[in-house]
A and B are shown apart, each in its own frame.
Chain A
């Protein structure tokens, strides 16, 4: 864990696509897609190993013409670190109850959107190929899965369907 105040954005193993104000990232290492909102994207792009947290806060102020606290930057770094989008994880300065207080405080004070890193996880292709080829992925009326559930076969030896809350990720 790195407590350095010079965070570095990760590049290896990532597919990056800018879309207007947001940045989309696909992590080839763990099959996760991320959507960084404008604020999170700005912080991430500012993580060049030279900028400190204080510098990044200053850059945000300059870009968006409003005063921001370093805690807003830490909020972004916290999320980016948890999603493995930084070269080395940073030690979070915002944890537990104090994190909620920080969000409330920043939220009331700032007109800039709080940083958000949305994430979607995708099943591994190797597992899902055999699964999707056989039974899974969609709710099968014959299986009796409840509304909104996906039909999946949960064991090679089992002929029975099982119902999952998300698309099947279990190997057949």
Chain B
């Protein structure tokens, strides 16, 4: 597949809209060739982002939906050249999910020195941040959903944002809940839950994964080792190459301030009940 398509044709496109947002220091812009698509792209802007003028953005995407089928696609512009980031036949909900994922990668790739993205769910209970790192299919969303149904505030599913001071930021993307065939996306409000509004310190890291019939029996592991293992869950792993000092600094910070609990789990309800009891008795 050709990554760099016909540059001249792309240069001649009359863009319907040029829009941009600033998300905690990363300024992302979109050029979109039709108004309807622009409206749908706005829906996937991160909720805590601030809309800015396209001219202020430093990262540029092109969304082409109405040209010939060879040109249609979602491109990231790198050093003046459009690189195909996501190819699609039809601009539909599935396509938007793919575009959102590429956007998340770019946010992680272009994050400022003091911001870090992790592949983790995140919630808060009484101002105490809990993150649930894990690979895809490990059960992060199910556990995150159970936490917020039980009264925790929702901070993120799949992509959590932590700064160099060890603070967890609200990044309430829609939760991707797997059905038998495909994933359905629901907001925290759809699930009757509250979204977090302000940064909270990360106090707990749950190193867990679903295994049928397993009983949740966590042990507190060495913070240094636990924090080091968290590096495996950087949303965009090569980001450590750009800011190794800052990344190791965050690891050291989290080792000091957070507890690392490790155990496989069965049903998520068991984990959440245990956790609320634990917090009550360790307040």
A interface with B by C-beta (< 8 Å)? 15-22, 24, 26, 28, 31, 33, 35, 37, 118, 120, 122-125, 128-130, 132-135, 137-142, 147-150, 156-159, 167, 172
Contact = CB atoms under 8 A, between A and B. Distances in A.
B1 interface: yes
A172 B94 CA distance: 22
Interface residues of B, number: 45
Contacts of A122: 237-238, 240-241
A19 B252 contact: yes
A134 B225 contact: no
Interface string B128-143: 0000000111100000
Contacts of A172: 3
Most buried by B among A16, A122, A123: A122
A28 B244 contact: yes
A53 to B, nearest CB: 26
Contacts of A133: 76, 78, 83, 85, 102, 105-106, 109
A141 B183 contact: yes
Nearest to A155: B1
Contact of B228 (A24, A128, A132, A134): A24
B118 interface: no
Interface of B: 1, 3, 76, 78, 83-87, 94, 98, 101-102, 105-106, 109, 119, 135-138, 182-183, 223-225, 227-228, 231-232, 236-238, 240-242, 244-245, 247-249, 251-252, 255-256
A22 B223 CA distance: 10
